[in-house]
Structure 1
């Protein structure tokens, strides 16, 4: 179990890298294409790709039972909610505060795990969570500001991502990874399509200037294939071998990868405080890793009722 847990954590770290590394691409793309429309296209392509793989190679795993459909819908809802709250929250708060508050899912997941799943967290995990949270503050916040409406939306974003991680811990052991990923990704595509139709000039995405924009096209393809299809299949397959809290800690490294990518690709400079924050986040993850996985915690994360 320990070896499987380590492999699972490494795979989830690669998933987090794919999200952080594509941050610059997404940021540039949504300057040209409305965000809900971009996400709808991204997730629709990813769902279609997984469907084709199931159709060609895993026909026996193309399940349609009500439990799987419900799991995909619930996971898709919380994932969409996270993206939606984040998108609107960024209109009313600063990017630095948004990054910190979104990262608070690393705190919410263990709190919810103790409250809802009755888990017993090990001391290294608790230290890791505190260290990673301090790192998020150093990386994201250069000054203390009063909370505002945008911050409330970002907190709902963090809560949504935390719920997605927790519920993935519930559903991942019950269903095959490919169909579970496909249904939740398809649900996100549908929810984003509705959002685009209601609040965005979605027609803008189908103009010549956008359709033949190489940056937008590259962002859609790379994000759909690597940061969506492969990433969520991997999460569906491997989160069953680790705990929600460790998953949240691993996902807290996303802003680290985003910052490094921005430094390498967009020539954005990191302050000494930001570098220290990155080191704190990585240290927090290492605290949890070196502390090992408590067997009781892991088993509860896989099967406890919500």
Structure 2
């Protein structure tokens, strides 16, 4: 397979991962009307862990890991799976899926801030401008809702969603610094399994299994999608993309996630689209691109192609 074809294939893997992650907010929102967040996460982690286990057996990966890296996996599992998904599922009880999609694109801003504080990266004027733009976009998305005043419950939902982006940034910095020497799919399996273990006592306490009989076929389809495609295939395809493309190039696809969420929210949940929220979301994405130092190279590359 030629180099260009490999890059195209890797791009398709990344595109599919982002599409699955973007739609995940919609599927979560659709099921939360019946299940509480804990029950939803138990079923999702259970389906995801089973799918990844079968996939590992089919791919003939070894499940053995050194005891030295168990604490690393536990930290990543708690932050990247349990806390992250719990914050998002709880936030979606009070905010719409499209707003969640826009806010999740704010995560790289927190990553840059943490990198400056703990990895000694330098702050530049362009990064400062990008951060101001992104924060402005977040304010537009979270404080404008059809001209109506915001209720306290809505504010809490947006706060939880923003906290989830901060949590994901902490997770990303730790994942980079810990450098666990195992295939991403193996790490993902143990993280998903840990998420299942941590949430199971909560569904037992709340007797969440009693509501499972209330789910219809469509809601079970959403759960299967969350478990198989979001927790399983998306992470797997993301890792496959990273095997071929540079991480900086793969990360560019993250800016498309809110678009996938918006389209799915309109088509599947009939959510209303407010122009000011879309404007705020676009401003967030532009700010994040500037912070990551990718806007100037993109413009330069575009101008270069136009030269005769």
Matched, 1:220 2:223: yes
Query: Which residue in 1 is equivalent to 2:190?
Result: 183
Structure 2 spans left out of the alignment, 5+ residues:
299-308
1:264 matched to 2:267: yes
Map 1:1-306 → 2, pairs under 5 A:
11-12=13-14, 14-59=16-61, 61-79=62-80, 80-88=82-90, 99=100, 104-120=106-122, 127-142=129-144, 153-171=160-178, 174-198=181-205, 200-207=206-213, 209-210=214-215, 213-236=216-239, 241-242=246-247, 247=251, 251=254, 253-284=256-287, 287=290, 288=292, 289-291=294-296
Contact 1:176 1:237 in 2 (8 A): no
Residue by residue, what CA displacement relative to the aligned partner does 1:20-71 show, whole Å, maximum 9, x if unpaired? 2232222111211222112111122111111112222223x33322244333
- CA shift for structure 1 position 219: 0.7
8 Å Cα contact 1:136-1:281 kept in structure 2: yes
State how many pairs are aligned: 283
* Equivalent residues of 1:113, 1:166 under 8 A apart: yes
Deviation, 1:110, is: 0.6
**Structure (1 or 2) with the larger CA radius of gyration:** 2
CA RMSD after TM alignment: 3.9
| Structure 1 residue 277 displacement after superposition | 2.6
Shift of residue 6 of structure 1?
Answer: 10
Pair 178,90 (structure 1): closer, same or farther in 2 beyond 3 Å: closer
Is the 8 Å Cα contact of residues 203 and 209 (structure 2) preserved in structure 1? no
Give the alignment's TM-score, normalised by structure 2. Answer: 0.73
Q: TM-score, normalised by structure 1?
A: 0.74
Query: Structure 1 CA distance, aligned partners of 2:131 and 2:91?
Result: 24
* C-alpha separation in 2, matches of 1:58 and 1:126: 47
Cα distance 1:269–1:98, how it changes in 2: closer, same or farther (>3 A)? closer
Structure 2 Cα separation of the partners of residues 139 and 217 of structure 1: 31
Consecutive unaligned residues in structure 1, runs of 5 or more: 294-306
Q: In 2, Cα distance between the equivalents of 1:280 and 1:75?
A: 30
CA distance in 1, matches of 2:120, 2:28: 38
Shift of 1:145: 6.1
1:63/1:226 CA distance change after superposition, 3 Å: same
Q: Supply the distance in 2 between the matched residues of 1:96 and 1:220 (Cα, whole angstroms).
A: 16
| CA separation of 1:117 and 1:154: change in aligned 2, threshold 3 A | same
